[in-house]
Structure 1
Amino acid sequence: MSLHRRLDHLHALAQANRWLKYFTVFTRVALALGFLPSGFVKIAGERFTSLSVNHPMGHYLEALHLTGYYYTAIGIFQVGAAVLLLIPRTATLGAVLYFPIILNICVLSLAVRFEGSLISSPLMVLANLYLLIWDYDKLKYLIIGRGQTYQPPGRKLKVDNRFPFRFFAAAFTVVALLVLLLTQGFDIMPRNTLGDCGRQCDERKDPRACYRFCDCIHRQGQPLDTCLAEYRQALMRAKHLKPGKARP
């Protein structure tokens, strides 16, 4: 059996499962609800968060808010993708439109270490990928290439009422590992406010370096990379400082 035939068979088995159908509907609704509020805020022309402009994400959102109709257009695309997801006939188009938007948000959140969407946006990317895989039978002909035409299955499989324990166990494991990586994978976080940033410093080996990092972000408004470089240099100096030697 060729690879795409095997994928067709696995996909047909998945779509015949009643529980996976319920999960697909839930995923579509959840993703739609994730975009509707933020999309309406942009369409209304309001600023999306109350973050200070000194915050790395605040820099970006302030500039984005000042782009005029580009800011509004993003909101329209978000609301449009959400509405398309909620309509069964257009759910595939909604998933396709949703993906580049949420992928951009995910990369942005990771790049600036924004807590507001640091965990939610990667999970939404995974959920969106699931929906694209669910619609594999409709999208595969865009990937296979020319000379392929859509052929609906000749015989539908019987509804499978068995609960897919393996699927949900694997999904739970992936989500748990991703959350663990995102919450423990960064050496320091800018947090949303100066106070929140400072609270993480007492538990560190060099609190003064941490406090200077927070000051660099929230008071000086320096780029995240600049503040991270200064923080790591301070840690290196503290590490190589001999015991009993006075600090410069």
Structure 2
Amino acid sequence: MNSTSRFEQFYFKIKGNRWYWVFSIFCRFSLAYAFIVAGMVKIVGERFASGLSEIHPMGAYLEALHHTGYYYTFIGIAQVVAAILLIIPRTVTIGAIMYFPIIINIWVLSLAVRFEGSFVTSSLMVLANSYVLVWNYDRLKYILPFKKYSNYGILEKPKKYNNKFPFIFFTTVVAIVGVTVGIFVFGYEVMPRNSLSDCKKQFVNTEKETVGLQFCECIHKKGNPLNECLEEYKNVTIQ
């Protein structure tokens, strides 16, 4: 039995379980809500995360993006369309496909500039989007580069779901959320934070308080690039 066959057997099992189905609905509507809110901000012409300083790494990016005119509006429309397609059962697959590259871009951007506003949420949204895509594997398999797959067509909703609670799956979900939050809190030695005061708090009463305050001022007062401020911070701390 090849790996594709084993996966499909597992897939048949989860598609008949009510709890996996409920979780897929939760992911769909959570993802849709997030993009409708973010997309409408762009459509009406407001700057996303308007409270963020323009010299903050993420703030500078969002400020520049806000001034791209109809491109900024286009991103908002794309987000709202993807969200609506996710909500409608018949279009959920195309909605998940459309959603994925957008959220991947947001996720990588958030990690690159260490933006706490979407550092955790974008990571979880990528995982939720991935789950929705896997849930719709019976529709996606025809465009995937698999040499062999079972030609069972699109699975119909079962007349009666299996109500057995998948403890291992949901324990894993909780663990993944915990690890993601843990990486955000403890995974980086230094974070720019969203304001000068918040940035300084992470260094108060520590042995790196002086150099840490310099890092914060480099970001929030001088407006230097994150990589440059991090380099200065590392150069001082290794001396």
Q: Same fold (TM over 0.5)?
A: yes
Counterpart of 2:52 in structure 1: which amino acid?
L
Moved more, 36-45 or 170-179: 170-179
Change (3 A) 1:65 1:205: same
Whether the 8 Å CA contact 1:54–1:221 is kept in 2: the answer is yes
Which ranges in structure 1 are unaligned for 5 or more consecutive residues?
238-248
Aligned match of 2:46: 46
**Separation in structure 2 between the aligned mates of residue 118 and residue 25 of structure 1, nearest angstrom:** 23
CA RMSD of aligned residues (A): 1.9
Aligned match of 1:61: 62
**Separation in structure 2 between the aligned mates of residue 179 and residue 133 of structure 1, nearest angstrom:** 24
Aligned match of 2:192: 190
**Separation in structure 2 between the aligned mates of residue 197 and residue 204 of structure 1, nearest angstrom:** 13
Whether the 8 Å CA contact 2:138–2:154 is kept in 1: the answer is no
Tell me by how many angstroms 1:216 deviates: 0.5
Tell me by how many angstroms 1:18 deviates: 0.9
**Separation in structure 1 between the aligned mates of residue 117 and residue 138 of structure 2, nearest angstrom:** 35
Aligned match of 1:79: 80
Counterpart of 2:190 in structure 1: which amino acid?
I
Whether the 8 Å CA contact 1:55–1:217 is kept in 2: the answer is yes
Whether the 8 Å CA contact 1:209–1:231 is kept in 2: the answer is yes
Whether the 8 Å CA contact 1:42–1:74 is kept in 2: the answer is yes
Give runs of aligned pairs for residues 1-248 of structure 1, distance below 5 A.
Answer: 1-49=1-49, 50-145=51-146, 151-152=152-153, 159-237=161-239
**Separation in structure 2 between the aligned mates of residue 151 and residue 136 of structure 1, nearest angstrom:** 12
SS in 2 for 1:77: helix
**Separation in structure 2 between the aligned mates of residue 191 and residue 229 of structure 1, nearest angstrom:** 17
**Residues paired across the two proteins, number:** 237
Tell me by how many angstroms 1:203 deviates: 3.5
Counterpart of 1:122 in structure 2: which amino acid?
S
Which ranges in structure 2 are unaligned for 5 or more consecutive residues?
none
Whether the 8 Å CA contact 1:138–1:150 is kept in 2: the answer is no
Tell me by how many angstroms 1:150 deviates: 5.4
**Separation in structure 2 between the aligned mates of residue 147 and residue 127 of structure 1, nearest angstrom:** 27
